[in-house]
């Protein structure tokens, strides 16, 4: 049973061995090695209850606790609406083949969403690790480092941009697109191992066909690269946007015009951001 988090419904916390892995202003995220409904014996899982969420499969429970500062009726309505909205978006994307955690169940009145746990590291951490490895290998040779980044990081960032394009092509805006909300899941094809980008945390996501909203999504991610990988952020964002533009709509005629419009809007959003920075 999880301790120290009294807001989690006891019917849930008593039944499953839950480990809290994230706590934000809006939601708490828990890991469980046990499926919420199907006995482990039927699944054939070998995951144990003390397995770390960082290196196993398993399941994620996202919980929106009551907000005592809000009126109880309004709080219940908001919790129900936001939980249902996130669940619908997650399920829609999963059915469309976008790489997101698979949806298991939702209890909107209690603010609970069950989903698959993704076995992989965040894009932020993965890039930090690769940069450290490259620096150790090249001994200060900047040209060699640039070639290594081109070989190792570029294919992954192209793939990430491609996946975000699939999200936007379905008119879903993430709302909090950062390098922490993009995971890289190891996969094997024949003898070769590669990384699949997976998009997580749709708590602020919404349906929108506006190019402006998609441009803001990309701008938020661009700023995340600038803050977490400042030395090479321009290079990384360039590769990611290359993947985005080539992956948007898979070259469909109407998609070509749409992605050009999004890129134009992105430039306008950047300009507004620079003006805010100058004004302070």
- The pLDDT value recorded for residue 34 is 84
pLDDT (0 to 100) of residue 77: 96
Closest C-alpha among 172, 173, 163, 171 to residue 269: 173
C-alpha of 107 from chain center? 22
Catalytic residues: 176
Residues 6+ apart with CB under 8 A from 263: 215, 241, 245
Residue 100, SS3 per DSSP = coil
The tens place of each residue's pLDDT in the chain, 280 residues long, gives 444 444 676 667 666 778 889 888 889 999 998 888 877 666 655 444 443 444 448 999 999 999 888 999 999 999 999 999 999 999 999 999 999 999 999 999 999 999 999 999 999 999 999 999 999 999 889 999 999 999 999 999 999 999 999 999 999 999 999 999 999 999 866 556 689 999 999 999 999 999 999 999 999 999 999 999 999 999 999 999 999 999 998 867 789 999 999 999 999 999 987 656 554 4
> For residues 25 and 111, what is the distance between their CA atoms, to the nearest angstrom?
14
Task: Please check whether residue 26 is in contact with residue 64, taking contact to mean a CB–CB distance below 8 angstroms.
Answer: yes
Distances (CA, A) of 18 to 15, 87, 146, 202, 203: 9, 21, 43, 21, 21
**Local structure of 93: helix, strand or coil:** helix
Helices and strands per DSSP (H, E), number in the chain: 8, 10
pLDDT at 11: 61
User: Tell me, what's the pLDDT at 274?
Assistant: 67
| Three-state DSSP state, 129 | helix
pLDDT at residue 33 in the model: 87
Identify the sign of the CA torsion 274, 202, 149, 239. negative
Measured between alpha carbons, how far is 117 from 220 in angstroms, rounded to an integer?
A: 25
User: 200 with 246: CB under 8 angstroms?
Assistant: no
Please, what is the Cα angle at 92 between 180 and 167, to 5 degrees?
Answer: 45
**pTM, to two decimals:** 0.88
Are 162 and 206 a contacting pair, CB within 8 Å? no
Quick one: 92 exposed, middle or buried, by C-beta within 10 A (0-12, 13-18, 19+)?
middle
The number of beta carbons lying within 10 Å of the beta carbon of residue 207 is 13
Structure tokens at 57: 């499969």
Q: Is 250 left (phi over 0), alpha (psi -120 to 50) or beta?
A: left
Around Cβ 62, how many Cβ atoms within 10 Å? 25
């Amino acid at each position: 049973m999880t301790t120290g988090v009294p807001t989690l419904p006891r019917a849930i916390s008593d039944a499953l061995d839950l480990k809290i892995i994230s706590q934000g202003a809006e939601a708490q995220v828990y890991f469980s090695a046990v499926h919420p409904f199907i006995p482990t014996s039927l699944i054939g899982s070998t995951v144990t209850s003390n397995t770390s969420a960082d290196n196993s499969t398993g399941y994620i429970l996202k919980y929106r606790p009551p907000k005592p500062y809000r009126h109880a009726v309004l709080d219940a309505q908001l919790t129900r609406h936001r939980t249902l909205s996130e669940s619908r978006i997650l399920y829609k994307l999963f059915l469309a083949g976008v790489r997101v955690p698979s949806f298991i169940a939702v209890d909107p009145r209690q603010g609970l969403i069950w989903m698959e746990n993704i076995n992989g590291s965040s894009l932020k951490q993965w890039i930090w690790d690769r940069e450290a490895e490259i620096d150790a290998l090249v001994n200060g040779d900047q040209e060699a480092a640039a070639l290594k980044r081109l070989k190792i990081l570029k294919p992954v960032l192209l793939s990430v941009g491609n996946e975000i394009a699939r999200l936007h092509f379905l008119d879903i805006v993430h709302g909090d697109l950062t390098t922490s909300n993009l995971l890289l899941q190891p996969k094997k094809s024949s003898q070769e191992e590669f990384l699949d980008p997976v998009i997580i945390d749709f708590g602020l996501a919404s349906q929108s066909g506006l190019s402006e909203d998609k441009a803001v999504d990309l701008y938020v991610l661009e700023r995340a690269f600038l803050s977490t990988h400042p030395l090479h952020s321009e290079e990384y964002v360039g590769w990611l946007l290359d993947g985005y533009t080539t992956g948007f709509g898979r070259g469909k005629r109407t998609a070509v015009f749409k992605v050009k419009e999004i890129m134009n809007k992105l430039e306008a959003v950047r300009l507004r951001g620079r003006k805010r920075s100058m004004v302070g």
